Structure 1
Amino acid sequence: MNGQDYYIPAAAMAISLVFKLPALRANWRDPLLRSVCVLLILAGAVFTFAAPPTIAAVNRWTGIPNLSAPLVYCLITAFSASCLILIFNWRGGPPEETRRTSQRWIAGYSVVIVAIIVLFVLGDVPEERLRDFDTHYANTPYIRVMIALYLLAHNVAAMTMVAMCWRWSLQVRGWLRTGLVTIVSGYAFSLTYDATKFAAVIARWTGNNLDDLSTYAAPPLASAGALVSAVGFVIPLVCQRASDHWATWARYRRLGALWHEVQSTAPSGTPSVRMSWWSPAEIRVIQRESDIHDGFLRLGPCFDRRQREDVYERAITDGADEATARAIADAAMVAAAVRASAADPDGPGDGDADAEDRVLIVADGPRDLVRISHALRHSPLVAAARRHSPVPGV
């Protein structure tokens, strides 16, 4: 792998981090959000500092041959810990328990990082190796322990992540499950990376040579594992937000028939709230629902409970379920009220014989506005009620 193969994933991590920074500034106390940002920073750093051009530059700038090796090992170890901490915060649970577990993982991997640094200082690695440090110094005192230690720490994290994410994926559905399965797939690459590295190092310990596994096979596996795992962490966050956004817009559109129905009764000159094109979908839905409820209040004197009950019974007889029959009955009452209101803008008088049967649609509790809107557009019973509703004074 050349420098581009490392720098492109690093740039992808940096771009993801940039998109996360506004949310972090607004909710910097959120441990899950902090964990995501730390993971993105460390993942980007691992790719950046593991690139051969960066390895050579760091060694040259510091004047210490192979200083990049412990630096990359420390970054990989910290990245492994950040993945574990993120998954614990993501899974949730009692905050104190999550905090204690995170602190234990941080403490354990901090000890590994310190040990890597100490072992490098004690070892002797005078010849710079940009691509095959692990196998070239596999039999060097202290360095061999350093190499085994970072691989073991990475392997423990990978196996723990696979076990946790797989068990969790069996308990959930939707985008979260997709993300967890993707993370497991990514860590399968990471476990294969560990296997190839261990195989090459152990081969050196036993007097054999499998250096190509470490030099040429392992780096692409590490890159693929990190990228796939990062995608797995992002999928539930991004796709769930997109699904929620789509559902909100769908609700806005489905309320259209009911909104247009009741808005037709608004007095001329009534000021309307204008939404800018960039207004969030959630705000648009709230405003549309508010307009509908205002329309119900205007139409209240024209609502006829007896008509609603008749339509409800007919809908049940036609095989509709309880919720659908209720929505059809409400829609029929609204449609009839709109026609009656248009024919008699002043509404029924106080002495009207049917006044005691005319009720607000909200009197019996909340209604499913989307179902009512759908019934207004599609129900034959509502169309019949609209055609044959009684007109005051006729």
Structure 2
Amino acid sequence: MHDLIYGVGALAGWIAFTYKLNHLRQDWTNSALRAMVAAFGFSAVAFTLTVGPVYQPIDAALGVPNLAKLFIHSFMVLFSVCVLQLLAFWQYPAPQARHRARVYWAVGLVVVATMSALIAVAPIHDRSTIHFWKTHAGETLLFWYLVMFLVALSAGLLAIAYRSWHFAGLTARMPWMRRGLRLTALGAVLSFGYCACRGGYLILISADVRVEPLVDIAQPFASLGQIVFFAGLTMPGWGPKTRVDQLSAYRALEPLWSALHDAFPGIALHSAAEGDSAAVGDVNYRLYRRMVEIWDGYLALRPYLPAPAASSGPDEPAASDDAARSIIEGLRNRQEGYEPAVVPPTRPPSVRDSELEWLVDVSRSFARLKARDLDHA
């Protein structure tokens, strides 16, 4: 049963790794995507090494019994580091995300180095055993080795759960990303069930009480949690838009976004001074960000719009040509110093099925009408 449970987790890891590696080949400069692929790779290798028919021959080839366990536990710590790095690139400007990533990696590598030192001097290298926890958890050095592993992994998983759930609340206009982030949070909580069971076992061991079923109960939490994790992190790519469609829509929004951004630079979620926005997240996030900034620019422009357009909200869109003409006139009014009208502040609705398509149509109409105005100037 041990090999079956972890084998399923390994298979899911390699499927997720292969799936996202194909995306990475198309967008190698994407820092968030690189972190995701690395996370999937660390997890897949860790689960694969846990399977007995793989673990035992590797131990034999290394010539140091139980050394493969260090690789398994280290890769799981690094897995959590990579996911935290991924979420940082989704949530923060590129320089801030890189700083956070360096901190995560520094802490993770210190943990791995300390674990390596503890297992190197522990008296466990005379015989190999698949029942590592049940056999060695009661030995002093291995007890603290396992405590450090669980504390590091638990901290990473709980941070991932919190940040994923919190960030999901900021992606209301991207339902597939929102669902994926919430599923990622659920996967982190399920994976934490592994830490809770094994941690409870260590606490009881310290009280000279052995409840070995806790070791076995932890296994399904680990495998199921990782499967849910993989599903959540890949879910944004399952949506109705393909990456080609998303890139096309992202580029189509450029004329409207540029005009509103030039008029109201404050709408930028990440300023140019904070780094290259293309490095923040993948195309799902960049498209979502551009939509948010367009709506914020539209709301800032409302006091300068012609009266009928200013009185209608984004949830009551006009035809794309009419909306584009209103925006052009509003930008002209603002540039010429017209006195802005008093418009009650409102927010656009959080979700509308045709929102992206309508914005793309408006942006294309905006570009066409602006070009026509220049020709007639």
Q: TM-score range, shorter-chain basis?
A: 0.5 to 0.7
1:323 aligns to what SS in structure 2? coil
Deviation (angstroms), 1:2? 3.9
Report 1 or 2 for greater relative contact order, CA contacts < 8 Å, sequence distance ≥ 6.
Answer: 2
Q: Tell me if structure 1 keeps the 8 A contact 2:10–2:48.
A: yes
- Give the counterpart letter for 2:186 in structure 1: S
Give 5+ residue unaligned stretches, structure 2.
249-315, 323-362, 367-377
Q: How does 1:91-240 map to 2 (within 5 A)?
A: 91=91, 93-125=92-124, 126-131=126-131, 133-173=132-172, 174-214=175-215, 216-239=216-239
Relative distance call for 1:49 and 1:324 in structure 2 (3 A) is same
Deviation (angstroms), 1:367? 5.3
Other-structure match for 1:290: none
Whole-Å Cα distance in 2 between the matches of residues 21 and 130 of structure 1? 31
Other-structure match for 2:348: none
- Give the counterpart letter for 1:208 in structure 2: V
Other-structure match for 2:90: 90
Deviation (angstroms), 1:102? 0.2
Relative distance call for 1:244 and 1:29 in structure 2 (3 A) is closer
Whole-Å Cα distance in 2 between the matches of residues 59 and 27 of structure 1? 37
Q: Tell me if structure 2 keeps the 8 A contact 1:134–1:201.
A: no
Whole-Å Cα distance in 2 between the matches of residues 166 and 25 of structure 1? 29
After TM superposition, the score normalised by the length of structure 1 is 0.60
Whole-Å Cα distance in 1 between the matches of residues 139 and 73 of structure 2? 17
Deviation (angstroms), 1:154? 0.3
Are 2:73 and 1:78 aligned?
A: no
| Residues 246-305 of structure 1: CA deviation (Å, up to 9, x unaligned) | 9x9xxxxxxxxxxxxxxxxxxxxxxxxxxxxxxxxxxxxxxxxxxxxxxxxxxxxxxxxx
Relative distance call for 1:75 and 1:143 in structure 2 (3 A) is same
- Give the counterpart letter for 1:148 in structure 2: V
Q: Tell me if structure 1 keeps the 8 A contact 2:154–2:195.
A: yes
- Give the counterpart letter for 2:152 in structure 1: A
Counting matched residue pairs gives: 257
Other-structure match for 2:67: 67
- Give the counterpart letter for 1:226 in structure 2: Q
Q: How does 1:349-368 map to 2 (within 5 A)?
A: none
Q: Tell me if structure 1 keeps the 8 A contact 2:16–2:230.
A: no
Are 2:318 and 1:323 aligned?
A: yes
Whole-Å Cα distance in 1 between the matches of residues 364 and 227 of structure 2? 47
| Residues 47-92 of structure 1: CA deviation (Å, up to 9, x unaligned) | 101112222122222222211221111111111111111111122x
Give 5+ residue unaligned stretches, structure 1.
249-320, 328-364, 369-394
Rg comparison, structure with higher value: 1
2:183 aligns to what SS in structure 1? helix
- Give the counterpart letter for 1:64 in structure 2: V
Relative distance call for 1:233 and 1:58 in structure 2 (3 A) is same
User: Structure 1 stretch 228-237 or stretch 62-71: which is displaced more?
Assistant: 62-71
Relative distance call for 1:245 and 1:138 in structure 2 (3 A) is same
Whole-Å Cα distance in 2 between the matches of residues 231 and 194 of structure 1? 21
- Give the counterpart letter for 2:28 in structure 1: W
Deviation (angstroms), 1:157? 0.3
Alpha-carbon RMSD:
2.8
Whole-Å Cα distance in 2 between the matches of residues 175 and 87 of structure 1? 16
Whole-Å Cα distance in 2 between the matches of residues 8 and 135 of structure 1? 23
After TM superposition, the score normalised by the length of structure 2 is 0.62
Other-structure match for 1:33: 33
Relative distance call for 1:119 and 1:199 in structure 2 (3 A) is same
Whole-Å Cα distance in 2 between the matches of residues 322 and 195 of structure 1? 51
Whole-Å Cα distance in 1 between the matches of residues 193 and 93 of structure 2? 34
Deviation (angstroms), 1:134? 2.1
- Give the counterpart letter for 1:185 in structure 2: L
1:115 aligns to what SS in structure 2? helix
Deviation (angstroms), 1:237? 2.5
Whole-Å Cα distance in 2 between the matches of residues 34 and 325 of structure 1? 38
2:318 aligns to what SS in structure 1? helix
Whole-Å Cα distance in 1 between the matches of residues 319 and 241 of structure 2? 29
1:209 aligns to what SS in structure 2? coil
| Residues 8-50 of structure 1: CA deviation (Å, up to 9, x unaligned) | 4323332333333343234222101211211121121011011
Percent identical pairs in the alignment equals: 21
- Give the counterpart letter for 2:109 in structure 1: S
Q: How does 1:273-284 map to 2 (within 5 A)?
A: none
- Give the counterpart letter for 1:323 in structure 2: A
Whole-Å Cα distance in 2 between the matches of residues 71 and 158 of structure 1? 19
| Residues 231-254 of structure 1: CA deviation (Å, up to 9, x unaligned) | 1000012326349859x9xxxxxx
Relative distance call for 1:163 and 1:240 in structure 2 (3 A) is farther
Q: Tell me if structure 2 keeps the 8 A contact 1:138–1:205.
A: no
Q: Tell me if structure 1 keeps the 8 A contact 2:6–2:219.
A: no
Whole-Å Cα distance in 2 between the matches of residues 107 and 15 of structure 1? 29
Q: Tell me if structure 2 keeps the 8 A contact 1:200–1:209.
A: yes
1:124 aligns to what SS in structure 2? coil
Whole-Å Cα distance in 2 between the matches of residues 110 and 21 of structure 1? 24
Q: How does 1:337-356 map to 2 (within 5 A)?
A: none
2:39 aligns to what SS in structure 1? helix
2:140 aligns to what SS in structure 1? coil
- Give the counterpart letter for 1:56 in structure 2: Q
Whole-Å Cα distance in 1 between the matches of residues 128 and 19 of structure 2? 38
